[in-house]
A and B are shown apart, each in its own frame.
Chain A
């Protein structure tokens, strides 16, 4: 059973639009929530991360929104660019282990 549920599976956005990817979890012991970005043929790389005592974190065009009571968090990509086209994974950490969502393939149309 997937510990972190991610949606949507795929997403098509026009250049300049906002991309939104959502994740949900059940285990309240999770203590760190990173997002990873993966380009074809490459390993995932850390994009942005948030701690559960913070409701929002912004780095450039990328923002994580975190709702602890709902056990949900989301990634917002503002002004999406074709270079953002990649697969995105949310993750959650507990006791040395990182659990990943199933991934979202983002395609930003020029």
Chain B
């Protein structure tokens, strides 16, 4: 299994509070991604990173920010959580920028916003 650790694995928070999810990898892979998984929508890309301090938006980036200060860590922040951000969040990593490559996923972080 790829060395990907997501924390926390479960979190319950209240509307309006800030939340940070952490993805830590031990594979030294360049690319890191944050997806959210919701019934009927599959996996939707929030943000991704193609190197330290290099990030780009995905399909559903509104209300989310990311930071990557080290190769191994990719943080996802909800500045002011809303109920619509209740979801399961997955981090994924990939070694290269080539199209024909595998995404390795973490085990997910379940976030509930009350």
Contacts and interface: CB of A to CB of B under 8 A. Distances in A.
B107 A42 contact: yes
Classify chain B: how many residues form its interface, as a range: 20 to 34
Interface in B37-95: 40-45, 48, 50, 56, 58-59, 90, 92
Given A43-B90, A43-B106, A46-B102, A96 B48 contact: yes
A41 interface: yes
A79 to B, nearest CB: 25
Nearest to B58: A97
B74 to A, nearest CB: 14
Contacts, number: 59
Interface of B: 4, 31, 33, 35, 40-45, 48, 50, 56, 58-59, 90, 92, 97, 99-100, 102-103, 105-108
11 contacts: A41-B107, A42-B108, A43-B105, A49-B102, A89-B43, A93-B99, A96-B97, A98-B103, A100-B35, A100-B44, A103-B43
Interface of A: 2-3, 6, 9, 31-32, 34, 36, 41-46, 49, 51, 89, 91, 93, 96-103
